[in-house]
Amino acid sequence: MTAAVDTGLWQLDATRSVIAISHVTMWGMVTVKGTFTGVTGEGEVRPDGTVRGTVTLDAASLDTKHAKRDEHLRGPDFFDVERHPTLVFAVRDAAVREGETVEIKGQLTVRGVTRPQTVTAKLTESSADAITLTAEFTVDRNQFGLGWNRLGMMRGLTTVTSTLRFTRTSA
């Protein structure tokens, strides 16, 4: 990744970053959308070209614009924020592929369950002081113990969309 991004330490700019989810419910008739308002992150591009970092979401910060649904999502049927207050994506490797496409390999931890997750992102901004990555990928919520599905209302995968802006930090 060093071809497009300078080595060094990078901090997530939470005010200019967005992580949202959407999931088709009600037998395909309704799409529930929400945004995580509590997000932090950091990363490092090392001189040898390796990349590491984390993006952490405050599970209780998910806002779907429906208070009763948000309360249910925070409870034990879904995120169980009392026991698992964060969702974490830990970057293990990243590489620029074609043009501005970045393949990011990492591990996603939700409800204490960690699974490998590969994300293909687009590098939409790259300067000496800031980088922005945008991505859309899917997650099978059942793999993380989020299997609640009353009357078969929730099928399929959850879509995650993100715009993550990082700014250079001093060592």
**Is the pLDDT reported for residue 151 higher than 80?**
no
Mean confidence (pLDDT) of the chain:
88
Domain spans of the chain?
Answer: 8-169
DSSP letter, residue 157: P
Q: Rounded mean pLDDT of 52-79?
A: 93
pLDDT at 152: 45
Alpha helices in 10-78 (DSSP H): 67-74
pLDDT tens profile 64-73? 999 998 998 8
Burial readout 61-82 (b: 16 or more C-beta within 10 A, e: otherwise): bbbbeeeeebeebbeeebbbbe
* Residue 67 DSSP SS3: helix
Is the CATH number of domain 8-169 3.40.50.2000?
A: no
Kindly state the tokens that stand for 144.
Answer: 């993380």
User: Which of 140-144, 161-165, 166-170 bottoms out in mean pLDDT, i.e. has the lowest?
Assistant: 140-144
pTM of the model: 0.88
